[in-house]
């Protein structure tokens, strides 16, 4: 998990740096009030400034209402080359929190020195005009509640459909009319607005995970301004939702295999024997918990779905493997405390039972508007069979009803390839055993983009830049700092 920065000494506050004039070149008259706005920065920490930017609710009808975008700027340590906008993924993750609380994790020191690093909460997210659905108690029931009906039965599906319908209705009722406009296309347009009011004529951008889809969408809409884009841990924009879920199941099973290979070779593994025997023991544990949930110290019950969430959280990074072994050891002894910790970290649930942000609400809002619902029984059956064969550990718990079937608005997005002709070189970074955004998606996106350049990080975990691989880091930073485009297909072991 991303951790906050602790300051043992806080220097005297300084006034925010002066802003450059907004870039309003080529802007239509109805958008000038937005593109021409001056940023009113306020100091919000050492070298940090914060502001709210006003954007249209509906970019197709700019006079129909307004939203606010929460932005943070970390001022360059030296002479700024311009602004570098960041998105940490999700959809639903806070870019403002990513930069403000985890700057060193987000970018390397050379970029911090040379750019005004910009974090922003996309529309619907965090401190921007946000999607709001449930209070903490209701969210607990939604995320951790255990269905009364037996798994994979018609009654179970009907129970989850009712739950999802109630959730969607609450989001619609409590979000002030923004749900139809929480889309990646609108967010990309917001990002161009941010570029302009920051005074930049071209976009410097680093997007992780879902942030690669946001960046690719930006390049599609504004190719002439997409001059320095790095897309790390790519989503393939042409892949439909059903295939996304299937590929991720296989990706997490592959990451699980890597974890189990490491685990059984050590002395602290909760499982004995071979990798296959360890996988069978873990499957047995999940099945046992599915039949008889474990009770946590705070009174919550852990079923198999929550246990799987905790396991998935730990598979995002090899750094979590040791903790996952400890958590599974506890669960085998009837104590789910550490697995609850992992699941809570994934869901953004704090120790006091509140939620640090609205990532779950925003995640559903974006995905349900971006991905058309698929209802072809043959395709669903094929996906189910593929998961059963390729991801046997995850298969029994993977194919729940799509919550977007019950979303109050139909999707407006389309799953299609993005070429972005006319853009500058776009770096796509893929990690060979990335469980969340499998490597094949990075290969595909780099191939789709007319000026895509693929960088391969050979290794484990989600995303590749600033993860300790100097080959990847040097390529990304040389591109952003010096306009040096790496060789397409660069492979970093």
CATH, residue 120: 3.40.50.1820
Residue 13 domain-assigned (yes or no): no
Percent of the chain with pLDDT over 90: 95
| 17 band by pLDDT with thresholds 50, 70 and 90 | low
Do the bridges between strand 116-120 and strand 66-74 make them parallel or antiparallel, or are there none, so unpaired? Answer: antiparallel
Choosing from 395, 415, 435, the residue where a domain stops is 415
For residue 18, what pLDDT is reported?
58
For residue 10, what pLDDT is reported?
30
Regarding whether 328 and 424 lie in a shared domain, the answer is no
Using the predicted structure, report yes or no on whether residue 14 has a pLDDT greater than 60: no
Can 434 be counted among the known catalytic residues? yes
SS3 state at 53: strand
Choosing from 415, 432, 453, the residue where a domain stops is 415
Catalytic residue among 74, 228, 451, 462: 462
192 within 8 A of 221, measured Cβ to Cβ? yes
- Summarize pLDDT for 215-251 with one digit per residue, the tens: 999 999 999 999 999 999 999 999 999 999 999 999 9
Regarding whether 206 and 112 lie in a shared domain, the answer is yes
For residue 1, what pLDDT is reported?
31
Catalytic residue among 128, 209, 325, 442: 209
Can 209 be counted among the known catalytic residues? yes
> 436 φ, ψ to 5°?
-85, -40
For residue 80, what pLDDT is reported?
87
Regarding whether 289 and 218 lie in a shared domain, the answer is no
Q: How many domains does the chain have?
A: 2
Choosing from 362, 394, 415, the residue where a domain stops is 415
Regarding whether 295 and 341 lie in a shared domain, the answer is yes
Query: Looking at 6-20, 159-173, 264-278, which range is the least confident one?
Result: 6-20
Regarding whether 309 and 278 lie in a shared domain, the answer is yes
Residue 8 domain-assigned (yes or no): no
Residue 427 domain-assigned (yes or no): yes
Name the token pair of 423: 């853009």
- Give strand ranges (E) for 132-236: 203-208, 226-232
Regarding whether 189 and 102 lie in a shared domain, the answer is yes
Regarding whether 355 and 230 lie in a shared domain, the answer is no
| pTM of structure | 0.93
- Summarize pLDDT for 294-338 with one digit per residue, the tens: 999 999 999 999 999 999 999 999 999 999 999 999 999 999 999
Regarding whether 310 and 399 lie in a shared domain, the answer is yes
For residue 6, what pLDDT is reported?
31
| 54 band by pLDDT with thresholds 50, 70 and 90 | very high
For residue 7, what pLDDT is reported?
26
- Summarize pLDDT for 354-393 with one digit per residue, the tens: 999 999 999 999 999 999 999 899 999 999 999 999 999 9
For residue 16, what pLDDT is reported?
55
Catalytic residue among 49, 121, 190, 434: 434
Across the chain, mean pLDDT equals: 94
Domain that holds residue 194: 29-129+182-239+417-492
Regarding whether 95 and 52 lie in a shared domain, the answer is yes
d(CA 77, CA 17): 12
Regarding whether 153 and 189 lie in a shared domain, the answer is no
């Amino acid at each position: 998990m991303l951790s906050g920065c602790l300051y043992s000494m806080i220097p005297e506050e300084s006034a925010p740096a002066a802003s450059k004039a907004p870039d309003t070149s080529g802007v239509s008259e109805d958008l000038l009030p937005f593109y021409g706005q001056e940023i009113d920065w306020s100091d919000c920490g050492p070298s940090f400034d914060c502001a709210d930017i006003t954007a249209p609710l509906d970019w197709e009808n700019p006079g129909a209402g307004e939203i606010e975008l929460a932005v943070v700027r970390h001022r360059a340590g030296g002479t700024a080359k311009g602004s570098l906008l960041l998105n940490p993924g999700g959809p639903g993750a806070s870019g403002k929190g990513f930069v403000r609380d985890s700057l060193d994790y987000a970018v390397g020191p050379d970029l911090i020195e040379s750019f005004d690093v910009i974090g922003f909460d996309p529309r619907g997210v965090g401190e921007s005009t946000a999607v709001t659905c449930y209070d903490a108690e209701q969210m607990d029931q939604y995320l951790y509640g255990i269905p009364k009906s037996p798994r994979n039965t018609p009654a179970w599906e009907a129970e989850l459909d009712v739950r999802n319908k109630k959730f969607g209705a609450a989001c619609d009722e409590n979000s002030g009319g923004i749900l139809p406009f929480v889309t990646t296309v609108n967010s990309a347009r917001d990002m161009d607005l941010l570029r302009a009011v920051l005074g930049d004529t071209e976009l410097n951008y680093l997007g992780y995970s879902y942030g690669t889809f946001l960046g690719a969408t930006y390049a599609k809409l504004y190719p002439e301004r997409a001059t320095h884009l790095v897309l790390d841990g790519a989503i393939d924009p042409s892949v439909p939702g059903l295939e996304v879920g299937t590929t991720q199941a296989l990706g997490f099973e592959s990451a699980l295999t890597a974890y189990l290979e490491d685990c059984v070779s050590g002395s602290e593994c909760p499982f004995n024997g071979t990798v296959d025997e360890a996988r069978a023991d873990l499957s047995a544990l999940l099945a046992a918990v599915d039949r008889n949930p474990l009770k946590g110290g705070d009174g919550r019950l852990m079923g198999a779905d929550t246990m799987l969430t905790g396991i998935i959280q730990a598979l995002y990074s090899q750094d979590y493997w040791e903790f996952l072994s400890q958590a599974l050891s506890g669960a085998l002894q009837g104590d789910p405390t550490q697995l609850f910790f992992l699941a809570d970290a994934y869901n953004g649930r704090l120790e006091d039972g509140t939620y640090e942000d609205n990532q779950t609400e925003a995640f559903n809002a974006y995905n349900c508007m971006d991905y058309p619902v698929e209802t072809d029984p043959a395709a669903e059956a094929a996906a189910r069979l593929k998961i059963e064969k390729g991801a046997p550990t995850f298969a029994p718990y993977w194919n729940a009803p799509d919550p977007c079937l019950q979303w109050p608005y139909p999707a407006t997005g389309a799953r299609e390839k993005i070429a972005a002709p006319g853009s500058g070189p776009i770096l796509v970074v893929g990690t060979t055993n990335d469980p969340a955004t499998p490597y094949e998606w990075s290969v595909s996106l780099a191939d789709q983009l007319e000026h895509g350049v693929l960088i391969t990080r050979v290794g484990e975990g989600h995303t590749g830049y600033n993860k300790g691989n100097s080959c990847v880091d040097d390529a990304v930073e040389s591109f952003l700092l010096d306009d040096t485009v790496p060789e397409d297909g660069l492979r970093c072991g």
